[in-house]
Amino acid sequence: MPRQPIYLDNQATTAVDPRVLAAMLPYFTETYGNPHSNGHPYGWEANEALEQSRSEVAALIGADAREIVFTSGATEACNIAIRGVAQAEKKRRARGGRSRIVTLATEHACVLSPCADLAREGWEVVVLPVGRDGIVDLDAFAEAVDERTLLVSAMLANNEIGVLQPIAEISAICRANGATLHTDATQAIGKIPVDVHALGVDLLGLSAHKFYGPMGIGALYVRWRPKVKLAPLASGGGQERGIRPGTAPVPLAAGLGEACRIAGAEMATDARRIRRLTERLWDGLRQRCPQATLYGHPSLRIPGNLSVGFPGQSGEKIVDAVSRHVAISTGSACSSSEAKPSYVLAALGIGAEAAQSTVRLSVGRFNTEAEMDAASIWLSKKTNVPSYEQSGTSRAFVA
C-alpha cells in the first residue's frame, strides 16, 4: 500500500481520535434507541447519553447544558443564529425596530452568505474591513454599532489565517448598544480556552470534526439569561427546545461530547506541542524558502496555523505538486472549488497574484517533528525557490 502523505490540513478536518471512536461505537450497536422515546430503557439510555454529551459541550465553553443545541455542524449553527435572530425581530423591524447587522469581511461563508441573503430581504448589512494583520479596528467597529444594530457576527478564529479577533472588546461595544453578539468559534474550540461568559457572547457555533470528533455534528450555544430571541428555521418534533427539530444523532453526539472532554483535559498540553511543531515547520520553511511570507498577525493566532505565500508561485499548483507527499490546501475547504483568489487575503490588502501564491498549513494532534522536517523539504523542492544560502531572509507579514 502506498505511503499516505503527511497530513497538514487539520483546519479542514481532523482525524477522529481513537477515544472518540470508542465512545461512539456502543450507540451504533448496543444502545441504539431513539433518545426521544421515553417509554422504555432503550430510549432512556440514549437520552442519558445525549444529555451527558450536552453537559460535556457546555463544560468546555463555560455554559449551562440547557444552553447547548445540537446541530449538524457549525454551518447550520451559524445559519440558525443569524437567520433566527433576524426572523425573531422581523415584526418589530417593520414597526421601526432594529434593522442593522454588522459582520467582518473575513468571516466564513456560513456567516457572509446568510448576511447577504438578509441584505436582499431589506436588512441593512454592514461588512467591516480588517487591518493588514487580519484584525478589525475597534474604533471603526464602534462607529458601525449603534442603537439600530440588531446583531453582530464576528469570528473568534479565522479559518484561513488563524487570526484571533478581540471578541471580549467587541462584546463590550455590543452590550453598550444592546446588540446581540454571535461568534463562529469553529476553529478555536479545542485549540484555545473558550468561555462564553468571559467573551461576552450571546450565540456561538462549533463543529466536532475540527477538533478530533466526527463529521456531521456540531452545536449552537444560545444564552439563556437574559434569553436570546431566536426563531427556528425549521419546524417538526420540537426537539432541541424547538430550535433545531429532528431526532438527535446519539452516536455523533457521544463523539462530540468525548472530543470536548478530551479537549478540556488535554488542550493546554496539545497547544504547547502543536505550537512547537508549527514553529519547527515555519523555521524549516524560512531556511529553505527565504521568499516565503507569513500572512496574518504573527502571534494573535490559533496554534497550528500557517498561511504562507510563495511569491511567483501558484498555490493550487503547489498543493497539486506535493499532494502525494504532503496534504495541504489553498484555504477554506468550503470554497476549494473556486479558482478565484481568497477573499480573506484580499481583505488584508494582499494583491491577487500574492493571494494566489498562498497555501494553508495546519498542524494537529497527531503530527510529529519528523513530519514537520519532511514537509518543509518537500515544499521547498516543489516551490522552486532559491535556497537559504543563495538569498536573504524570509519575511513575516506583521502589522
Residue positions annotated with a catalytic role: 334
* CA–CA separation, 226 and 243 (whole Å): 17
> Distance between CA atoms of 307 and 313, rounded to whole angstroms?
14
In contact, 166 and 181? CB cutoff 8 Å: no
Contacts (Cβ under 8 Å, ≥6 apart) of 123: 86, 93, 99, 100, 101
End-to-end CA distance of the chain: 46
The burial of 225, by beta-carbon neighbours within 10 Å (0-12 exposed, 13-18 middle, 19 or more buried), is given as exposed
Quick one: cell of 369? 517533528
Residue in this structure with the C-alpha cell 469553529, named with its chain if needed: 186
Instruction: Give the rounded distance of the alpha carbon of 292 from its chain centre.
Output: 25
Burial of 349 (0-12, 13-18, 19+ CB in 10 A): exposed
Relative to beta strand 218-222, strand 395-396 is: unpaired
Cell numbers found for residue 113: 452568505
| Residue indicated by cell numbers 490546501 | 329
DSSP track, 216-245? T-EEEEE-TTTTPP---SS-SS-TGGGTS-
DSSP state at residue 209: G
Amino acid at 188: A
Residues linked to residue 327 through DSSP beta bridges, in sequence order: 7
CA 46 to CA 44: how far, in whole Å?
6
> Could you tell me if 56 and 168 are in contact, meaning their C-beta atoms sit under 8 angstroms apart?
no
